Every structure is written in C-alpha cells, then in structure tokens.
Amino acid sequence: MDRPEFLTRLLEIPPDRPALHFADTDRSTTYGELLDGGARVAGWLHERGVKPGDRVGIQLDNGLPLVLAHLGCMALGAVRVPLNRHYKAVELAPILEDATPRLVIAEDPSLFPGLDVHPEPGLGPPLRAWPSPPADVTAWLFTSGTTGRPKGAPQTFRMWTANLDSLAEAWQFDSNCRLWLMLPMFHTHGLVLGLHGTLLRGASARISAHFSPAPPPPDVTDVYGVPTFYHRWIPTMAAQPDAFRRLRLMVSGSDGLGAAVSDEAFRLTGQRVLERYGMTETVMICSNPYAGERRAGTVGLPLPGVALRISEGEVQVQGPSVFDGYHPRPDAEAFTTDGWFRTGDAGELDEAGYLRLVGRKKDLVIVGGVNVSPAEVEGVIRGVPGVADVGCCGLPDEDLGEVVVAAIVPDRAKVDGPQAEAELLAAVARAGLLLSGLKRPRQVVLVGCLPRNALGKLQRNRMAQELFGQR
C-alpha cells in the first residue's frame, strides 16, 4: 500500500517551521525536530519487538512525550490505542482485553499487569521509512458504550484526512493559525482535531496538560474547548474581554454549549462561539459556519462530504470520515440496512438546514465534555455487598453540564437500620474511587425500587424525575 496522504503531506512541511510549544515545560519544537523525534521513537519501538500493525497503548498527559509516542507509532506503522489519562485499572481492563497491546507507554505500570510498560517513549536508531500500517488503520479509539463496555472504533488516515480537510475549509484553518490546545489527547476532539488537525495544515499549537481559565496568550488565534471551559471562562471574559476579542475562532464541542453561555460570551467579547458536532465513529459531522450565521443552540450544517438524514427522529450519517464498524466486537445495530451509521442522537433540522440535537437515544451522561456510561458505573457499584439493585443517570450541572447520580436498592437482609445504611453508602463511596473522577456519582440515594418498564429495562428519564426531582 502507498504511504497515506496524511504522512506524505506531513513530510512535505518545511522542517524549520515552528510546530508545537509545550506550555508546562516552556519548550518549543519545529516540524523537523518532531519528525526526527518520531523516527527515533519508531526505532526504539522496533528494538522492543513492535511491528507494523501491532497495538501500542499510550496513557500520558499532554506533552512532548505523548506527541512523540504518537509520531513514533505512525513512523513504524503501529496502531495507537490512546488511553484516558484518568482511567483506573477496572476501567482499563476491558480495553486492554480487546486491544491486546504489544507495549504500553504509561506512567503507572501497576495499571497494566503482565504487559510491557514504559513510563515514556525512548529514543533509538532513527527509523525513517514512515510505512503505512495494514489496512490504513492508524489508531483504535475506544468509546463509552451504553452497555458499560467500551467499544473499539478503528481509525484510518483516510477518515482523518477527509474530515480534517473539510474542517480546514469550513473554518479557514491554515498554516498561519496558532491553536491553544488544552483538551486531552486521548479522544477525538483533542487528538484528531487538535493535534493532527494542526500537523496536517502545517500550523502551530500551544499545548497545555490541563485547562486553565486564564485569558488566551497573545500569540494564540484559535481555541478549541468543551462547554465547561467556556462556562469557567465567563468571569475571565468579563475581566479581560480584549484577550478574547482578538481571537480568530473559538470552538465548542462534545456537548451542547447552551444558549445562555453562548449569548453571554458574545455579549462580553463580540465573538459567537462556534458549535460543532461529531463522534469518535464519524469524526466531525456538522459545524456552524466560520463566515456566516452561527445559530446558538444548534451544531450547524453538515460538513463538506458528509451526508446527514433524520430517520424516525435519529441522526444518521454517511461519508468518507465514517468508520467501518466496531472491532473486535461488531455491533449489528450500528448501521442501517442501507448503510447509514446510527448515531443514537435525536435531532431535527431547522428551515435553513441547521441541526439541533434534542436528546440522546443513548444513555450516555456527558460530564465536562466526557462521555460516561451509566452502565459502567452501575457495574462497579453492583459489586458492593448489600446492594440489591442500582441505577445511574445524569442530572444537569451548571459547571460540568451533567453529573452522574446513583440510586441504590439495599438488600434488606443485609442492610437493616440507619447504621447499616450509612456503612453501605460509605462502601459505595469507596467503590467509586475505583473509577476516574468524572464517573463518580455526585449524589447517592437509597430507594425501595427503581423505575423499570414491563420488560425490566431501567428507565433513566423516570429516575431523574421521580428519584432526584429533575423536571
């Protein structure tokens, strides 16, 4: 197979062009330095027996080691498996079972028993072939499945190149742009749009490991964020509006921004935050226009090359950036019989063709822009002695958008009286520590029964209303 177009274009960028600045270490790199570092990491991986097509797990904070790990895998043709930096062992286990990585680059080896783990990528003899991996697969991104088990979504260079070219056209993003990237690079928003979108255009980025509500640095032109970022930025916008007014573009995704925050940001800065919509399985689907009307409360128009339809209230898509299916656990329901990917999101199109998301047929809770599967949280709590039944759902939160809450039916043969109930709640709280922070229930209540339909399916919308008073 010929070298993927993505790599060909990356190698054509002038080596002395500024590429990335890592704010936490105050280190800057050129494209030539990045590609040389990637070639040396590829040599290091090769020395450790990693071959093209092998999977490599990467669990690191945003920084130069993480970027070089990705470039090294690309150079060798290994398949990257980005891992959530906050995941604990119980959350990583199903991903590792399905991905079977040959090697893992992570700071905490105790999370990866039995695997070859290294705290950061090493440097070996440069491997400069930059081959193509089998079937063009460059990464497996794991999504939060509604069944509680993450689903592996293979990513190809073809998906990314097609989508990033559409975004560059829609957002007029070019080599003169400088992105402020604080999104974690273990999912689509930070990894694909942020890092690879910057590299494919020969642009530059200022990368931070964590979000800060500080004003944008003077050299930044573009900002990508999630709604929680913008909610926390409102006081900064009020205090230093000029720092935001000079930006070329502010983008929000991973959840609905909300008209109130969008309008307040516009009032303070004169900038209407650009909302867009995408998924791991599809990359970006829709975007409000860069030059044109940005409609608050909508995620905009389908991107060039993306076909979108509403079928029985569900958003369904086709196009070159849509993946081929889950692996290694296929889902027969992921696509319609005529080949459209079923997003599971409920939506409607307005008179101008702008998409408004009106709900999720899936049960995911989006906490600070991160998808959380209630079933996964339930699985952890269900293992606590004294829990007869458990249900989790999401409740609105002013800062994070949503938070996870849990309702527990105690086993009354084991839990009798206030003291036993207090001990059960304490045990549930300890079990929550097995999960990363955004997944931990913010509220836990004891109830007599959970609302279920005639077939026994948990009705999460009724939970929120009947057990937590959400209207």
Chain segment 392-402, per-residue pLDDT in tens = 999 999 999 99
What does the pLDDT look like over 294-304, one tens digit per residue? 998 899 999 99
Region 320-336: mean pLDDT is: 95
Is beta strand 365-367 parallel, antiparallel or unpaired with respect to 103-106?
Answer: unpaired
CA distances from 279 to 300, 400, 403 (A): 15, 19, 20
State the pTM of this model.
Answer: 0.85
Region 385-411: mean pLDDT is: 93
What local confidence, expressed as pLDDT, does residue 194 receive?
97
218-222, 298-302, 461-465, range with the lowest pLDDT? 461-465
> What span, in angstroms and rounded, lies between the C-alpha atoms of 419 and 425?
10
Region 3-12: mean pLDDT is: 85
Q: Which CATH class is domain 365-467?
A: alpha beta
Instruction: Evaluate if residue 279 carries a pLDDT over 70.
Output: yes
> What span, in angstroms and rounded, lies between the C-alpha atoms of 408 and 425?
9
CA distances from 150 to 99, 328, 470 (A): 11, 11, 28
CA angle, corner 142, sides to 19 and 108, nearest 5? 75
H helices within 249-329, ranges in order? 259-269
User: Which residue has 């608050």 as its token pair?
Assistant: 296
CATH code linked to domain 218-316+327-362? 3.40.50.12780
Domain locations along the chain: 1-210, 218-316+327-362, 365-467
Task: Tell me if domain 1-210 and domain 365-467 are identical in fold.
Answer: no
> What span, in angstroms and rounded, lies between the C-alpha atoms of 248 and 333?
41
CA distances from 46 to 119, 129, 282 (A): 17, 12, 31
Region 159-175: mean pLDDT is: 96
DSSP 8-class letter at 465: I
Check if CATH label 3.30.1360.200 holds for domain 1-210. Answer: no
Instruction: Evaluate if residue 1 carries a pLDDT over 90.
Output: no
**Residue 178 pairs with which residues in a beta bridge?**
204
What local confidence, expressed as pLDDT, does residue 432 receive?
92
What local confidence, expressed as pLDDT, does residue 2 receive?
57
